[in-house]
Amino acid sequence: MSYIVFGTGGHAKVIVDILRSCGEKIIGVLDDFCNEEEWNGLPVLGDINQVDKLLFQYPGALFIVAIGDNTIRMKIVSQLKAATVKFGTAAHPSAVIAPSASIGEGTVVMPNSVINADAYVGEHTIINTAATIDHDCRIEDFVHISPGVHMAGGVQIGCCAHIGIGASLIPGVRVGCDTIVGAASCVIRDLPENVIAVGCPAKVIKTYKDKG
């Protein structure tokens, strides 16, 4: 397969490394703010306004939006969907993904992560380095599961949530949409939408009245 990566930040570096480790062809990168001709050994193909031209040149190309911020990633994906692009996925060879697990388009799975039996991971989600997703977990679209997160069985994560580095979640808890769980926190009870929760056990420290 041939890929076009959107983004030239640190997150994009990791995704490019994953694609290279998998032996995939990378046509180049897109970025709205990069004025260089080359980045990380790849040609810079322009900004998002070049998508139609690129689809004509490379009709079989798959796109991956390599942006770590959930909100920005969702916005760019929406723009690309309007241009009817096709999205790919990327999973590092060291990742362990159960045959019964489901991975949505545009999602990336970083090195040494584990996704166990009957887990569901939605579209354009990040399973970052060495995160573990146990059986029957459900992770919705545009989520970021940070490095070293450990999710026990049956955990549910709402769309656009961000689970901070090293956090742990006990079996069956749910984290609401757009909620942020702080680094090294331990989630032992359900968390609502649009909050920030930190600590062990994780407690809500801020509620967003209107994130829209």
Reduced to 3 states (helix: H, G, I; strand: E, B; else coil), residue 104 is coil
- AA identity, residue 72: I
Cβ neighbours of residue 191 under 8 Å, at least 6 residues apart? 173, 174, 175, 176, 179, 181, 197, 202, 204
Task: Name the DSSP class of 9.
Answer: S
pLDDT, residue 140, reads: 98
Q: Which CATH class is domain 2-88?
A: alpha beta
Residue 128: C-alpha distances to residues 18, 57, 152 (Å): 12, 32, 16
- How large a percentage of the chain has pLDDT more than 70? 98
For 152-203, how does the pLDDT look when each residue is reduced to its tens digit (9 = 90+)? 999 999 999 999 999 999 999 999 999 999 999 999 999 999 999 999 999 9
- Residues tagged in the binding site annotation for acetyl-CoA: 144, 165
pLDDT, residue 211, reads: 52
* Catalytic sites, residue numbers: 135
Report residue 20's pLDDT band, with 50, 70 and 90 as the boundaries. very high
For 87-140, how does the pLDDT look when each residue is reduced to its tens digit (9 = 90+)? 999 999 999 999 999 999 999 999 999 999 999 999 999 999 999 999 999 999
> Do 194 and 178 form a contact (C-beta atoms < 8 A)?
yes
The whole model's pTM is what?
0.96
Tokens read off for 208: 């967003």
Report residue 210's pLDDT band, with 50, 70 and 90 as the boundaries. low
Separation between Cα atoms, residue 64 and residue 12, nearest integer Å: 9
Separation between Cα atoms, residue 187 and residue 199, nearest integer Å: 8
- Residues tagged in the binding site annotation for substrate: 68
For 60-93, how does the pLDDT look when each residue is reduced to its tens digit (9 = 90+)? 999 999 999 999 999 999 999 999 999 999 999 9
- Residues tagged in the binding site annotation: 68, 144, 165
For residue 208, is pLDDT > 90? no
Domain ranges of the chain: 2-88, 94-201
Q: Does domain 94-201 have CATH number 3.40.30.10?
A: no
